[in-house]
Structure formats: C-alpha cells, structure tokens
A and B are shown apart, each in its own frame.
Chain A
Amino acid sequence: MPIQSLVKEGVTEVTIEDEMTIYTALEQKNELSPYCQPDVHLQINLSKVSDIDSAGLQILLFLKQESSTLNFKLSLIEHSQAVVEVLELLNLGSHFGDPIVISADWGKS
C-alpha cells in the first residue's frame, strides 16, 4: 500500500510511501484523485519519496492545478531530498509555495 492517509483536525494528510516515477504515476494519480474535493485541506507528505522524475513531478503539478480549479488547499510537507532537488532544479519551490525544511542529515548534493 503505497499511500497512507489519515484525517486530523480537518486536514487530510496523505503520505506517499513510494517513488514517484513514470512507473507509479498512473497508480498514484488514480489514488490521489479522490482526495481532490472542494474545501478540503490536503496535505501530502513527501518524506518517503525516494525518487522522483518528470512524471512524478507532473503529478504534483497536476494536484496543484486541481487545487486551484476545485478550490481546495494543497500543501506539500516534509519534502524528501529527491523532491527538493527537483524542485530546486526546476525552480518550482515558489510555485507550490510550501515551506521546505532541509534536513541536516542530507548529504551535500
């Protein structure tokens, strides 16, 4: 089960426990789509995303786009090193607008 979710204080937190690549993109999109409901606060925990490629990134972009069209709140939390690296590479940090915590444990990349 790659996706874990729990609802707490009106916030739906979803943890993606897998890589986000072209191999998982279809599955993840289908699993994440039901959470996209108006007026919810969807929190996606990216701490366990070991790897992310363009397709995975595209899923995140898709969710961001859905949040504005369907009017719900999307926040990405606990970005893993892989995710941060891609967001920085593509200068997308501000696009998602979430605070990124950089762990001291990450090796210099």
Chain B
Amino acid sequence: MSDMDAALETFAQEAEELLLDMENSLLILEDTPDDSETINSVFRAMHTIKGSSGLFGFNIIVAFTHEAETVLDQVRNGERHINNELISALLDCKDHTIKLLEHCFNDNSAELPAELQAISLKLISQLTGKTEQQLTANHDDLHIEKESSEISADNWLISLEFKTDAFRNGMDPLSFIRYLKTLGDIEQIISTATDLPSGEAMDPESCYLQFKIVFKSDASKQMIEDVFEFAADDCDIKILPPNSKVEHYTELLEDLPEDNVERLGDILIKIGALTVNDVKKAIKNQTEHKNDDDKPKPLGEILIEQKVVSPEIVDEALKKQQQTKQKVASESTYIRVDSNKLGQLINLVGELVISGAAMNLMVERHGLSDVEEVAVSMNTLVSDIRDTALELRMVPIGETFSRFKRVVRDVSKELNKNIALSITGGETELDKTVVEKINDPLTHLIRNSLDHGIESPEERLAVGKEAQGNIQLNAYHDSGHIVIQIVDDGGGLNSEKILAKAIANGLVSEEDTLSQQEIFNLIFEAGLSTKQQASSLSGRGVGMDVVKRNIEALRGSVSISSQEGLGTTITIQLPLTLAIIDGFMVETEQERYIIPLSMVDECVEMNSKEWEIDSQQHYVNLRGEVLPYLHLGEYFHNGRGQAVKSTNRESLVVVSFGQSKVGFVVDNLHGEHQTVIKPLGKVFESLKGITGATVLGDGNVALILDVQGLMQVAIKDRDSHSTLLTA
C-alpha cells in the first residue's frame, strides 16, 4: 500500500503545481485571450488531473474536470471565445478542484458533501450552459497525409549540378565521383549536359555537366556531403537519403530526449538527416525571400522544396518538436530532490572547501611548486562546485510574486477597488527556504497595502489620482542581500494617527520626540493597529509585529517609508542565506575574523595624518566623508594589548550595508577566503557582533562578523560620544 501512498503524494504535488500553473495562465489570458500556448497549458492542467484522478478512482474529480476540459478543448479549437466570465468561472473551477482533491485525499469513499456537489453543478452549468450543442460537436483529429516517396528503394539520391565556372576554379567533377565510389556503390548514374550550347557558343572551358547518382552506401549524410566539400561553391548539391534512412531518422527522432525545445534545423542536423550546410542554405533562402510575403516560409517547406529532405522526416521532426514543447511547458520542475539531500551535499561541499584550504596551506608551507599547479586547478574546481551546489537551492522569486496576482485580483474585486500589480525583478534568485518563509509576511504586507494603502477609485479621483491604484513588487540583489520592495501609490501613512494610537496604547510617552521614521517604525510594534474597522482581509491573526519578527528570524530587516497622500514603500532586506560565502579575512590581536566580501568596499591604511582620526568620537575623514569606525580589537578584547597596537601599522576596512558605511580597524589583512558558515551553539547565541564561525585550513577557528550589528554599535558609539561631548 505504501507504493500507492507515494504515488498519491506525487499526484497531490503534481496537481498542486498544475493548478498553480493553470491559475497563472488564466490570469495571463485575461490580458492576452488569444495566446494559444497559454490556453494549451490550462487545458493540460485539467486534462492531466482528470487522467491521474481516473487512475486513483477519484470519479468525482474525473466527472468535474471532464466538463472543464471539454470547454477548454472548445476554446483551444476556436469554437468558443475566451472572455472574462469564462476566466472567472475557470478560476472558480480551479479552486473547486482543489477542494475536491482535498476531499478525495482525505476519504475517497465518503459521499461528496452536498455543498461541494452544489458548487460542482453550478460551475458546470456556468461553464457549459450556453454551449450544450457545441458540447456534442466532435472534432476530427489532424492527420497528415504522407506523400509517396520518389526515392528508389534503399539508395541515396545525389544530384550534382555544376556551375559553369567549375572547371576554371580547378574542379574536376570526375574526381568527386571517383572519390564517391570509395564510400559505396554507384548503382546508377545519369550524366547529362542539357544546357550544352552548340557550335560557337559552346565554351570548352565552361562546365555544362550534371549528374544524377543513385548511390548505395551506409555512410552518413555528412560523410557524403564531405565528399563534395570542395565543390560546394561551384556546384548545387542535393542529397536525398534512402527510404531505409527515413525509417532510421524517424527512430532517431523518437529517441531524442525531450528536455529542451530545439529549432527544426537543429533537430534534423542532430539526427543526421541534414547537414549544417543544408540548413544554412535553407535559412538563406528563407531570409532572401522574406520580402515577397509578409510571413517567411516555414523552414520545413523550404527544405522539402530544395529536395534535401523528405516530407516524412520533416513531419516527424515537427511532431517531435511539438511534443517537446508541450513536455517542457508542462514540466516547470525537473527532478524532485529531497531537500535534506541537498543540505547534505552542501555540507559536504563545505567540508571540501575546508580541506582544500588545508591542502593549500600544506603546499605553501612545503614549497612544492609542482603540486601547487595541481592545487590551483583543484581550487578552481572546488569553488565551481561550491557555486553550483549553492545554486541548486536558489529559486527565482518570480513564482512567489506571481501568486500575488490572484490575491490582488480577488481582493480588489472584493473591495471594489481597481488595483494593478506590477512585478519587476522576478528573476532575482534566493534560497528556497527563504522564499518559503517570506511568503506569509509578504502576503500580509500586500493585503495591508490593498486594504489600507490604496484608496477607493472615488477617493482617488477626488484627490486627482488615476482611478486605478498601483502596487509594485520589486526585487533586486544588493551586496549579498536581496531587497524586496512593496510600493503602493495609495494614501500613505498618517504619522499623527500612529503617534496618537501609540501614546494611547502606552508604547511611547507624550514627552518623547520621535522622528518621522521612528513613528513609522512604530507600526511594527505589537499592539498597534490603526485599523478603523476590522475587515475579513486582515483576519489572519498576523500583525505587523509578527511580520517583523518573521523577517528578523531570517536575519533580515524591514523598513518603511511613506509620504502622506502619495504612497508607502516597504523595503525588506534579506540575506541570501548562503551556507558558504566569499569572505574577507582580517586579523586583530592574533585573532582572525571574516567579513562577508560582498560588504567590503575598500581597505585603506589607517594613517593618522591623512585621515584626521578623531579617536574620541571614533570617526575618520574619508576623503571628506565622515566615517564612523570601530576598533575590532578594542571591541572584542576590551582593549587588551593596546600598547602593541600603537606601534603596529593598522588598516581600515570600509564596509557598507544598505545606505550606511562604517570602518573596522584591524591589524592585518589576509585577503579573500572561502568561508563555510558554521552556526554557533546556543551558548553563544547572545554574543553580539558575531553571526557564526568557520574552520580555517590550519584547523583554527575564525569568527564571522555580523556587519549589520557591528555597524549599529559603531554608529551608536559615535552618537553617544558626541552627545557626551555636547552635553
């Protein structure tokens, strides 16, 4: 029975993905109703679910999806037009299918609840109500008429038409034919000179010869074409494969892997039915004749016209191409891999990186120059493996983003608002676990924007905005982090209202003077809600404080900026959660630290004369810029060994995160280092300024700096000093 369970689970996952695809496709269809590829994908979703449900005996689902499938088939065949009502009905169908699936997964034998039954009936009538007659209309399957082949059985047919200048260019057609004989048997040869002029007009140095050769050989088309390689410029060569080859090609076509969509020409070259030259010629022909018609002729037709390939093969190849297209379209994910296995792989790669570093150290220590070369190339491989392994976990955020299209659509209908969602940066990649965990906070933030941010069309028109509100979801990479922005052009935040509420709730006292930014940030505090009335949308029990907590749990940060009347921007910054990073190793007080390389801006010498170091307030003048700095040795070692420090030459590592910049003062710079992040145990959880540790090649431990945290310390440090001074 366990086999069955596993199969069921696969089906459940597959169905979920299919339905999600279907939803996305339907939403795309709203804008482009004629996109046949998208209609096909909707159809496929219903069709596949119907098929698989039948397998498991989920008759309820079969009956329901069958109706949807029929309607979609009509749409696909152009018998029915797609419109917004149909899309809405189909979206409901999708939701209903999920419910039916849940029902069947829980207990297939149980009677379908009357409620679901009623919805089924309603949706079916919605779908098919008007088109009962068309329902019976059946459609003929496309069948391709196969032309009878002209090729004599089992032989190649080679046609050579030499150009008049062939002799002058040093060609001797005879020598090609002689050479051809080495590849096989010439069964029949017809030599003609049909254009041979008579009398004076005949130029004995021009070539008027043509040959038609029936050739028996096991050689490949490429080999045969190679015979005439040198003549290619002076001769029109056409090589038609024998019948048996046609079958052979057909077989090869069937065996081609269906993993990516290729162009027709490429497919035919791959199976050897055509040579690169054939295709080039055909494409040239295609582009040359483009101007005659509006539409260029299909490549397949040109190839058949040029008699370089038989129609059967082209048909077969096109069929194959179509199949591959469908398969690729339906498979957005290729292999399901247990994420634990991936985690294990990444751990192993981490160990590999460490032992690679250890090896390098040994090579360096013993000065083995010949080993060094090997070590260098191995290092390159190790870092390639590292990058690839990490990439396995990376997924584009676009899929998560596009889910919100449905949210925005449904919610705006519910609220009678007109809201458009635009998405940019969907291709930005980040770790799968982060993507999963960011989904809920994002949903909440977007619902918030929909509910409270964007005003109703009337209100918008009254303040001179367009009736349609806009929400923008944006993602991009920024120095080792991913930044997600939710921008709306709604009413913005009312800082007075927030402050009043916060005072009422006792979050702040009336005497506190808060900056605009600080007031906005109060939104993320627990117990603060400016909602005038509760709505069904925000009833998820997730407040903004939970959103903030969730994001901080991912080592990220969230900030908000707003302008009243113009809109609100919420910015989320998240680390890419890499188990392995490129680090920059520094040393201070004989202790090594790693700074994420992506955050390092520059390294300069800590030179007191040049930088106008203010050791009291802890800042330097970096080319006219006030840069707070933190003495890592003082911070972590509490100033132990300060006497040594003054004699040493120190360096300043300038790091940046978001908008702010800070300098770290260290004793030594060790350069780039591949860093495997090892989380610190629970005991060290409260340590500030450290996010993890890594094992160095020599077995020592280096601590990884929490740049974000240290920055705050550095900036606060400076502020406290300055307030002390001014006080």
Query: A residues engaging B (CB < 8 A)?
Result: 22, 25-26, 28-29, 33, 53-55, 57-59, 61-62, 65-66, 69, 86, 89-92, 95
Q: Does B313 belong to the interface (CB within 8 Å)?
A: no
Q: Is the CB of B188 within 8 A of A91?
A: yes
How far does the alpha carbon of A91 sit from the alpha carbon of B190 in the complex, in Å? 7
Q: Does B269 belong to the interface (CB within 8 Å)?
A: no
Which B residues lie within 8 Å of A89 (CB)? 174, 177-178, 181, 186, 189
Nearest-neighbour CB distance to chain B for A54, whole angstroms, equals 5
Q: Is the CB of A58 within 8 A of B207?
A: yes
Q: Is the CB of A69 within 8 A of B198?
A: yes
Q: Does B391 belong to the interface (CB within 8 Å)?
A: no
Which A residues lie within 8 Å of B209 (CB)? 54, 57-58
Nearest-neighbour CB distance to chain B for A51, whole angstroms, equals 11
Chosen A-B contacts, 12 in total, with CB atoms closer than 8 Å, are A22-B167, A22-B172, A22-B205, A55-B167, A55-B207, A57-B209, A62-B193, A86-B174, A89-B178, A89-B189, A90-B211, A91-B191
Q: Is the CB of B189 within 8 A of A29?
A: no
Given contacts A22-B172, A59-B204, A89-B178, 9 further A-B pairs with CB under 8 A are: A26-B205, A33-B199, A53-B174, A55-B167, A55-B204, A55-B205, A58-B193, A90-B174, A91-B188
How far does the alpha carbon of A95 sit from the alpha carbon of B209 in the complex, in Å? 14
Closest to A65 in B: B196
Which A residues lie within 8 Å of B198 (CB)? 62, 65-66, 69
Q: Does B249 belong to the interface (CB within 8 Å)?
A: no
Closest to B211 in A: A90
Which of B202, B204, B208 has the most chain A CB atoms inside 10 A of its CB? Answer: B204
Residue in contact with A28 in the complex, picked from B167, B171, B186, B204, CB distance below 8 Å: B204
List the 4 shortest-distance A-B pairs measured between CB atoms, nearest first: A25-B204, A29-B204, A90-B191, A54-B173
Q: Is the CB of A54 within 8 A of B188?
A: no
Which B residues lie within 8 Å of A29 (CB)? 202, 204
Nearest-neighbour CB distance to chain A for B203, whole angstroms, equals 8
Nearest-neighbour CB distance to chain B for A79, whole angstroms, equals 16
Closest to A23 in B: B205
Which A residues lie within 8 Å of B204 (CB)? 25-26, 28-29, 55, 58-59, 62
Which of B167, B177, B200 has the most chain A CB atoms inside 10 A of its CB? Answer: B167
Query: B residues engaging A (CB < 8 A)?
Result: 167, 171-175, 177-178, 181, 186, 188-191, 193, 196, 198-200, 202, 204-205, 207-209, 211
Q: Is the CB of B174 within 8 A of A54?
A: yes
Contact (A66, B208) CB under 8 Å given A54-B174, A92-B191: no
How far does the alpha carbon of A33 sit from the alpha carbon of B204 in the complex, in Å? 11
Which A residues lie within 8 Å of B177 (CB)? 89-90
How far does the alpha carbon of A35 sit from the alpha carbon of B58 in the complex, in Å? 94
Closest to A29 in B: B204
How far does the alpha carbon of A89 sit from the alpha carbon of B213 in the complex, in Å? 11
Q: Is the CB of A66 within 8 A of B199?
A: yes
Nearest-neighbour CB distance to chain A for B135, whole angstroms, equals 65
Closest to A27 in B: B204
Which A residues lie within 8 Å of B193 (CB)? 58, 61-62, 65
How far does the alpha carbon of A38 sit from the alpha carbon of B19 in the complex, in Å? 87
Nearest-neighbour CB distance to chain A for B134, whole angstroms, equals 63
Which A residues lie within 8 Å of B190 (CB)? 91
Which of A22, A29, A66, A86 has the most chain B CB atoms inside 10 A of its CB? Answer: A22
Contact (A57, B196) CB under 8 Å given A22-B205, A28-B204, A91-B188: no
Nearest-neighbour CB distance to chain A for B196, whole angstroms, equals 6
Which B residues lie within 8 Å of A92 (CB)? 191
How far does the alpha carbon of A31 sit from the alpha carbon of B193 in the complex, in Å? 21
How far does the alpha carbon of A93 sit from the alpha carbon of B196 in the complex, in Å? 19
Which A residues lie within 8 Å of B196 (CB)? 58, 61-62, 65
Which B residues lie within 8 Å of A22 (CB)? 167, 172, 205
Nearest-neighbour CB distance to chain B for A23, whole angstroms, equals 10
How far does the alpha carbon of A90 sit from the alpha carbon of B192 in the complex, in Å? 10
Which A residues lie within 8 Å of B186 (CB)? 89
Q: Is the CB of A62 within 8 A of B202?
A: yes
Closest to A92 in B: B191
How far does the alpha carbon of A90 sit from the alpha carbon of B191 in the complex, in Å? 6
How far does the alpha carbon of A55 sit from the alpha carbon of B205 in the complex, in Å? 7
Closest to B181 in A: A89
Closest to A32 in B: B204
How far does the alpha carbon of A28 sit from the alpha carbon of B203 in the complex, in Å? 11
Q: Is the CB of A91 within 8 A of B189?
A: yes
Which B residues lie within 8 Å of A91 (CB)? 188-191
How far does the alpha carbon of A15 sit from the alpha carbon of B204 in the complex, in Å? 19
How far does the alpha carbon of A91 sit from the alpha carbon of B167 in the complex, in Å? 21
Closest to B170 in A: A22
Which B residues lie within 8 Å of A53 (CB)? 172, 174-175
Nearest-neighbour CB distance to chain B for A33, whole angstroms, equals 8
Q: Is the CB of B174 within 8 A of A57?
A: yes
Which B residues lie within 8 Å of A69 (CB)? 198
Closest to B189 in A: A91
Nearest-neighbour CB distance to chain A for B642, whole angstroms, equals 96
Nearest-neighbour CB distance to chain A for B169, whole angstroms, equals 11
Which A residues lie within 8 Å of B211 (CB)? 90
How far does the alpha carbon of A90 sit from the alpha carbon of B188 in the complex, in Å? 9
Q: Is the CB of A54 within 8 A of B167?
A: yes
How far does the alpha carbon of A92 sit from the alpha carbon of B174 in the complex, in Å? 13
How far does the alpha carbon of A54 sit from the alpha carbon of B177 in the complex, in Å? 11
Closest to A89 in B: B177
How far does the alpha carbon of A54 sit from the alpha carbon of B167 in the complex, in Å? 8
Nearest-neighbour CB distance to chain B for A99, whole angstroms, equals 20
Which B residues lie within 8 Å of A33 (CB)? 199-200
How far does the alpha carbon of A95 sit from the alpha carbon of B194 in the complex, in Å? 13
Closest to A87 in B: B191
How far does the alpha carbon of A85 sit from the alpha carbon of B172 in the complex, in Å? 15
Closest to A28 in B: B204
How far does the alpha carbon of A22 sit from the alpha carbon of B204 in the complex, in Å? 8
Which A residues lie within 8 Å of B167 (CB)? 22, 25, 54-55
Which A residues lie within 8 Å of B207 (CB)? 54-55, 58
Closest to B176 in A: A54
Nearest-neighbour CB distance to chain B for A49, whole angstroms, equals 14
How far does the alpha carbon of A95 sit from the alpha carbon of B208 in the complex, in Å? 16
Which B residues lie within 8 Å of A95 (CB)? 191
How far does the alpha carbon of A90 sit from the alpha carbon of B193 in the complex, in Å? 12
Q: Is the CB of B191 within 8 A of A25?
A: no
Which A residues lie within 8 Å of B205 (CB)? 22, 25-26, 55
Which of A54, A57, A69 has the most chain B CB atoms inside 10 A of its CB? Answer: A54
Nearest-neighbour CB distance to chain A for B205, whole angstroms, equals 6
Which B residues lie within 8 Å of A26 (CB)? 204-205
Nearest-neighbour CB distance to chain B for A27, whole angstroms, equals 9
Nearest-neighbour CB distance to chain A for B215, whole angstroms, equals 13
Closest to A57 in B: B174
Closest to A26 in B: B204
How far does the alpha carbon of A102 sit from the alpha carbon of B562 in the complex, in Å? 104
How far does the alpha carbon of A91 sit from the alpha carbon of B177 in the complex, in Å? 12
Q: Is the CB of A54 within 8 A of B202?
A: no
Closest to A90 in B: B191
How far does the alpha carbon of A20 sit from the alpha carbon of B535 in the complex, in Å? 101
How far does the alpha carbon of A61 sit from the alpha carbon of B208 in the complex, in Å? 10
Residue in contact with B189 in the complex, picked from A57, A61, A90, CB distance below 8 Å: A90
